[in-house]
Amino acid sequence: MRLAGAGARSRRAAEPSEPEREEATEAARHEHSHTERHEHSHAEHHPAHDYKHMKEKFANELGHLPLPAWAIAAIVVVVLVLVACCIFCLFKKCFAKKKKPKKVRERKTGRRKKEKEGEGEGGEKEGEVKKPGEEEEKEQEKLGRLEFSLDYNFTDAQLIVGILQAQDLAAMDMGGTSDPYVKVYLLPDKKKKYETKVQRKNLCPVFNETFIFKIPYAELGGKTLMLQVFDFDRFSKHDMIGEIKIPMNSVDLGQPLQQWRDVESGEKEEQEKLGDICISLRYVPTAGKLTVNIMEAKNLKKMDVGGLSDPYVKIILQQNGKRIKKKKTTVKKNTLNPYFNESFSFEVPFEQIQKVQVVITVLDYDKLGSNDPIGKTFMGYGATGVGLRHWSEMLSNPRRPVAQWHTLLPEEEVEAALKAKPR
């Protein structure tokens, strides 16, 4: 009995009571539901939680870095730029159209031009009527007309060229006019060149000037007479209006010839290098004494058959086109770089010094024939560029020699500048 009672008590103590079992069951259910709700809510808010967590982690990491904020920002910007460049390059490589090589484009352009020209020629052949505008354009391209005369003196072996007048010359100046003159010479030697006087602001100038070339009749057939019309410009290179070429073998010189011809567009001839000359000027106002020292020359044009020259210098003092005094240096044999160092003095009163011109001509001495001019320059009244600057520097430094290099110019160009009145 005692044993049975003790076993019963021990079983009752081991087994929980009914209320305790219910409370334990409810607690387990509550814990299970809470776990499910927590898992459910965790599943629902997981991405935001991860982003927030990563952001906080990144901020913490940045905070621990030893770099300042501006350096981090700069690194981020550089990375973004590199990424953008990579994307742009990939896009250009994959999607952009490749440009054709330049040579191919030029060839295609040339073909198109030829095709257009062919179409234009075809249209004209088919009898298409030209538009009035095209005729007007052709009329505008006209450069004018020139009247000249030709005659040959068989007794004295002289070709006589007359430049009479011109009409409707092209306007080369801003004011709608030109300052024309005509250059006359024979090809191919160009030894003798003549020029007419400059006619100011005149598109229909009258020249009435005659020029003579001494040449045997037997040699005349191989020559070409050149008549070039220029517009004189005081401050820059003279512009060519046009030219007329007359092969002498096509002209009957048995009787005098006088005719009009259209001026045609000509190629601009390159300026021939004639050499340079060094000149020293000195003026003493109280004594009225002008001293010109011809020092040296260099790179002179070859005038002789052997490729050398026999140069000397001629100095002319003139006023209003009238020669006052002329002097010349000694001849230096067989050289293109002569050294002279020869001085010449001229009496020029102070009140006249602004009105005179010193004309320097370098010539090649020839025993048998005439001395050929190599080049020319001038200083004083009416000079421009280096000539004007040298003269002004001499006047502003009285009693002191002032040296200057001058580039030699063609004789006809300097003569035209001397004849022209300063504007």
Structure tokens at 166: 């011109």
Length of the chain: 423
- CA-to-CA distance for 177 and 241, rounded, in angstroms? 12
Ramachandran area for residue 130 (φ above 0: left; ψ -120 to 50: alpha; else beta): beta
Residues 6+ positions from 144 with CB-CB distance below 8 Å = 166, 167, 168, 169, 170, 203, 229, 241, 242, 262, 263
CA distance 138 to 133: 9
pLDDT at 116 (0 to 100): 46
pLDDT at 127: 45
Is pTM beyond 0.75 here?
Answer: no
What order of strands is seen across the sheet that includes strand 145-153?
206-214, 158-167, 145-153, 257-262
Q: What confidence score (pLDDT) does residue 55 get?
A: 67
Non-local CB neighbours of 406 within 8 Å, separated by 6+ positions: 276, 277, 278, 279, 360, 377, 379, 386, 387, 390
- The pLDDT, as a whole number, for residue 103 is 39
- How much is the pLDDT for 25? 52
pLDDT of the chain, 423 residues: tens digit per residue: 444 454 545 455 445 555 555 555 555 555 555 555 544 444 444 555 666 777 677 666 666 666 677 777 788 888 888 888 888 887 776 665 444 444 334 444 444 444 444 444 444 444 444 444 444 444 446 889 999 999 999 999 999 999 999 999 988 887 888 889 999 998 877 667 888 998 988 999 999 999 999 988 888 888 899 999 998 876 667 788 999 999 988 888 888 999 999 999 876 555 678 899 999 999 999 999 999 999 999 999 988 777 888 999 999 999 988 999 999 999 999 999 999 999 999 999 999 999 999 999 999 998 877 888 999 999 999 888 889 999 999 999 999 999 999 999 988 888 888 876 555
Are residues 384 and 255 in contact, defined by beta-carbon separation less than 8 angstroms? no
